[in-house]
Structure 1
């Protein structure tokens, strides 16, 4: 696999009154039009750093990975941050050597529901569709931070054409039950969406190659082999999703 490099840039919110930070991970041997991944962290405000190991591992497959900060404690629950980060990647992917027409949307925990919700609600993104979506340890039966609607409810109502979905969940996850991903997997299959579910022997933190630190109240880097192996598996899932192109359909909801 390729070695990687990272740098940080700001992205501006839609109202131009503030900005947040976004890390860009690229293969050290630069490519043009590399497959592109936008990876959203969970509910902890401004926790892009917890995804650093996963993002670096994914970028080592020759992908360009964008990891933005966003704040779930914002007045809108973080929606404006998530949508602004998506807009930044759509507008600036090529500046970073990535393909703006081939963006995979991925997320962990609250970020997973937010990513899946975007694929189901093209009416909120000017008809834009991701090339694929990866949901990591998500709960899809509660309102997504990106849309304020429930992904499972949106799936039952949407007329949007299917995009590939990859779901990953730890079998030892005590924070978000694996049954949440199993339920979405079943519903997507029933509606003929191309979907795969990987169940890994790890917990909510380990699935992104981290461990939870109760003293910090957040996840941190780990040397635990089981978590690192799980993170490597998730990186392969994301990298594989970013390799296959989906049809460029843009139906309305």
Structure 2
């Protein structure tokens, strides 16, 4: 793990109409087949039990010859109360096409099980991936957790658990404060201390996995300041971290394929530098024509 300082980047993409992304792309409806990109998808694979519920995942395998032997375990959004792994196809396909094995994970929603059942389910998925590393074709030391909105909260919280030994965390517009959903998510009688403890910000620690964050600056569902505070917490403990923000786009902006591709490229670059081929860089000197007059 490098000691590269945290980086905050504001990414500007000139895509017309980006602020009006009010639609959702349909999920990949394949089972043990290959898509046009050569990605193979295996649906509804049983990974274990979550209470009385069967936990399942969808496995997306990269095209032949591109394997990086790294797994990304993805957790969907939906405010903890809704959502499904079945909606994840278009989000996980771009990073899978770059050589990663993607696992879209299902977890119990708040109407079925209260906090921290969602973390218990995430841990079950991670353990299953590690136990099946050989058949998945991945290195058990190179498991990354990724999440979107409420799933970003699950990813960040799970990454803080030392026994999970995760290689990195990828958080898209993550929910870092559960006060607004506490009544539905938390067990009855939960006090303010319990609600604060349910925030991943309370569990950032030294040795936390390298983390890359994505957020739209026009997000009114989860304001981008949440990710700014997350970056500050990571930076304070010298966790290798980056925040990529996108102007003029709302919550779940990566449902647009161009943004999904851009985020996949940035994620790939981050994981290459921080996990697959860790490296540090000397201080960057001003180039010709810049610096002192």
TM-score by length of 2: 0.67
How far does residue 29 in structure 1 lie from its aligned partner after superposition?
Answer: 0.5
Evaluate the alpha carbon distance shift between residue 20 and residue 170 of structure 1 in structure 2; reply closer, same or farther with a 3 A threshold: same
How far does residue 108 in structure 1 lie from its aligned partner after superposition?
Answer: 0.5
Which structure shows the bigger proportion of residues in strand conformation? 1
User: What do residues 123-150 of structure 1 show as CA deviations (whole Å, max 9, x unaligned)?
Assistant: xxxx2321111111012233898x9622
Q: Distance in 2 between matches of 1:116 and 1:94?
A: 26
Contact 1:37–1:103, Cα closer than 8 Å, also in 2: yes
User: Runs (4+) of structure 1 moved beyond 6 Å?
Assistant: none
Evaluate the alpha carbon distance shift between residue 31 and residue 91 of structure 1 in structure 2; reply closer, same or farther with a 3 A threshold: farther
Q: 1:34 aligns with which of 41, 48, 69?
A: 69
Evaluate the alpha carbon distance shift between residue 14 and residue 51 of structure 1 in structure 2; reply closer, same or farther with a 3 A threshold: closer
How far does residue 44 in structure 1 lie from its aligned partner after superposition?
Answer: 4.5
Q: Distance in 1 between matches of 2:126 and 2:208?
A: 20
Q: Distance in 2 between matches of 1:134 and 1:113?
A: 11
Q: Distance in 1 between matches of 2:81 and 2:95?
A: 22
Evaluate the alpha carbon distance shift between residue 128 and residue 68 of structure 1 in structure 2; reply closer, same or farther with a 3 A threshold: closer
TM-score by length of 1: 0.77
Larger Rg: 2
How far does residue 86 in structure 1 lie from its aligned partner after superposition?
Answer: 1.6
CA RMSD of aligned residues (A): 2.6
Evaluate the alpha carbon distance shift between residue 107 and residue 37 of structure 1 in structure 2; reply closer, same or farther with a 3 A threshold: same
Q: 1:154 aligns with which of 184, 203, 221?
A: 203
1:240 aligns with 2:269: yes
SS at match of 1:186: helix
For structure 2, the 5+ residue unaligned runs are: 1-36, 186-193, 278-293
For structure 1, the 5+ residue unaligned runs are: 210-226, 248-253
Q: Distance in 1 between matches of 2:93 and 2:276?
A: 24
